[in-house]
Amino acid sequence: MAVLSTACGVAGCAPTSSGPEDAQTVLLQRPAGSTNDTKIYDSVLATCEKTTGITIKTQDIPSSGYLAKVLQQASSKTLPDVLMLDNGEVPQIAESGALAPLKPLGVTTNGFAEGVVQASTYGGELYGVQPVANTIALFVNTELLAAAGLKAPTTWDELKRTASILTKGDTYGVAFSAAASEEGTFQFLPFFWSNGGDETNIPTSEGAAALQLWKDLVIAHAASESVLTWTQADVNDQFIAGKAAMMINGPWQFPSLDKAGVKYEAVALPAPQLGAEIVSPLGGETWTVPVTGNKEKMASAAQVVQCLGSDASQLELGSGRNLIPTNENLAGQYAQENPKMKGFVDQIPGLRARTAQLGPDYAKASQTIYTAIQDVLTGGAEPLEALRRAETK
């Protein structure tokens, strides 16, 4: 079980439970993040204190044991007033009855991308507000593309052609993570979903075609066989070292890329064919109101959650943390102010929660998918048969 870290936030050191304070003081709990993330969130929370008139005390829990801590708190009925969760954890905690539906508390998500709202919805009820999101896009080495007279690929056929041309010497055309883990599934889902794949019925021709794309890239040596073991961090290392001309990755890699001085651009992932919508996995945290039994505090907590989802909060969090505002109405302004995020912003309409269809059972589907990927790329299995075999197992 995780041990509480030193809990000093917007209103100073916090207690370990909401305690007997008046209803205008709430305890907010979050996993411990980077110094930069904490600083930016504290700035947003300070603004929310002024906006709502509510005092916000923060409690940081080590991220490595965060979910276990939340589950223990839910069991012992010691949850805080405001709780941060990974959006993929919402169904599990909501199913336990530990979270309050937000709409009866007056919380709205007008303008939010549909997939973002779905990610925080369980059993038809909204349980969380997600102000910013992350996903993955295609990073291209602009110097290598320019030298080859190429543009960033926008379709699968263009991806294969471009990756093939850029493969020279010890530089592969494209790198991605096909690891036997959620990272591998996360990177594959945009191809799977965008081509009509469905995690409720995995072994279909649409899903197989997406897996064939990855197989084609590896067979053509446009992608290294090492993708089978690479994490997303490993993929980034290959790109920085000049051993991959393109890579699939997330905005969390911006700091290391900028530090290394790589000339790059992040563009939307290639679609199966021109004009097709790109459906990408939605990552990030959502803010919830636990059922504490104190109606006045829960009402105050709901005001804080609403403030965290406000336009101002989204823009500050997005710019400061290289994340995407979830209100589609902010897309144009945000992309103009943060041009390197445009490739991610372009994918907002198609963002989809991994747990949207299967809830807590998503983990089983993820294992089926990454098992099939491994089978195809290591054993040379045909994609459709690999998907069938993995689902049977």
**pLDDT tens-digit readout, 135-188:** 999 999 999 999 999 999 999 999 999 999 999 999 999 999 999 999 999 999
- What is the pLDDT tens value at each position of the chain, 393 positions in all? 233 333 444 544 434 444 445 889 999 999 998 788 899 999 999 999 999 999 999 999 998 899 999 999 999 999 999 999 999 899 999 999 999 999 999 999 999 999 999 999 999 999 999 999 999 999 999 999 999 999 999 999 999 999 999 999 999 999 999 999 999 999 999 999 999 999 999 999 999 999 999 999 999 999 999 999 999 999 999 999 999 999 999 999 999 999 999 999 999 999 999 999 999 999 999 999 999 999 999 999 999 999 999 999 999 999 999 999 999 999 999 999 999 999 999 999 999 988 888 887 888 999 999 999 999 999 789 999 999 999 988
Asked if residue 319 belongs to a domain, the reply is yes
- Structural domain count of the chain: 2
- pLDDT score, position 358: 86
In a domain, residue 183? The reply is yes
Decide if 293 is inside a domain: yes
Q: Are strands 280-281 and 351-352 parallel, antiparallel or unpaired?
A: parallel
| Residue 188 and residue 156 share a domain | yes
121 and 96 housed in the same domain:
yes
pLDDT at residue number 380: 81
Is 1 a member of any domain?
no
Does the residue 366 lie in any domain?
yes
Angle ∠(60,64,66) on CA atoms, nearest 5:
50
Q: Which pLDDT belongs to residue 9? A: 44
What six digits make up the tokens of 381? 């299995």
Which residue matches tokens 């302004």?
A: 333
- The pTM assigned to this predicted structure is 0.86
The domain of 102 spans 8-134+282-349
Q: Are strands 125-126 and 82-86 parallel, antiparallel or unpaired?
A: unpaired
96 with 212, same domain: the answer is no
Q: How far apart are CA 215 and CA 320, in angstroms?
A: 37
CA–CA gap between residue 194 and residue 279 (Å, rounded): 5
Whether 287 and 387 share a structural domain = no
pLDDT of residue 242: 97
Do 248 and 314 share a domain, yes or no? no
Same domain, 158 and 130: no
Classify burial at 200, counting beta carbons within 10 Å of its beta carbon; exposed 0-12, middle 13-18, buried 19 or more.
exposed
pLDDT of 351: 93
**Residue 120 and residue 34 in one domain:** yes
> Directed axis angle between helix 383-392 and helix 362-379, to 10°?
140
- Whether 157 is covered by a domain: the verdict is yes
HSE (side-chain half, CA atoms, 13 Å) at 40:
18
Nearest to 117 by CA among 348, 362, 358: 348
**Residues 239 and 317 grouped into a single domain:** no
Does the residue 2 lie in any domain? no
Measure Cα distances from 224 to 83, 177, 218, 243 in Å: 41, 10, 6, 10
Q: Are residues 180 and 200 in the same domain?
A: yes
Distance CA 240, CA 19 (A): 49
Same domain, 26 and 111: yes
Same domain, 143 and 273: yes
**Same-domain check for residues 73 and 107:** yes
CATH number at residue 158: 3.40.190.10
In a domain, 3, yes or no: no
What pLDDT does 4 receive?
32
